[in-house]
Amino acid sequence: MYDEWLKNMDEGKITGLVSLDIKKAFDSINHHILMLKMKDQFGIRENELNWFTSSLTDRQQVCCVNDHISSWKSIESGVPQGSILGPLMFLSYINDLPQYLKFTTPGLYADDTQIFASSDNYDELVELLNSDLKNISRWLSDNKLQHHTTKTKLMLIGSR
């Protein structure tokens, strides 16, 4: 990405980089949608899907603060962040997001998502970014995820 931004600067273009935040990204993964994606996009077979499903179901958690223990709560969604498979399952879940982008280039790293576009014209750049932000909003809704708008940041890169 960095090299492309430098090239765009040399050509007198403005690059807009939007950093997005998905609310409780790892904790919000819908198990049913995840299994469908693993089957349809990656060809995972039924026996393996059953193994993944069993590793995500019937999980519970408890919280302890200053010697006070909460009651046990069932975990209905999400993937475990501290495990080896959790981040891989998360990446499997968001793997199709770039297909929704028509005008920007994505950068996906775990739960950090960025999109960028470049243009000679500031208004056109804003239009390109906003168009794909709408596409991302649709993808988030389809995948039962929420965008953390207050943590979304825009950075303009250029020499004007």
Q: Which residues contact 96 (CB under 8 A, 6 or more apart)?
A: 37, 41, 139
Which band of pLDDT confidence, cut at 50, 70 and 90, is reported for residue 160? Answer: low
State how beta strands 112-119 and 68-69 pair: unpaired
CB 78 within 8 A of CB 29: yes
12 Rama sector, left if φ>0, alpha if ψ -120 to 50, beta otherwise: left
User: What CATH number does the domain located at 1-158 have?
Assistant: 3.30.70
Q: What is the pLDDT of residues 8-67, one digit of tens each?
A: 888 889 999 999 999 999 999 999 999 999 999 999 999 999 998 988 888 888 899 998
Flag whether pLDDT at 1 surpasses 80: no
Sign of CA dihedral 151, 24, 137, 107: positive
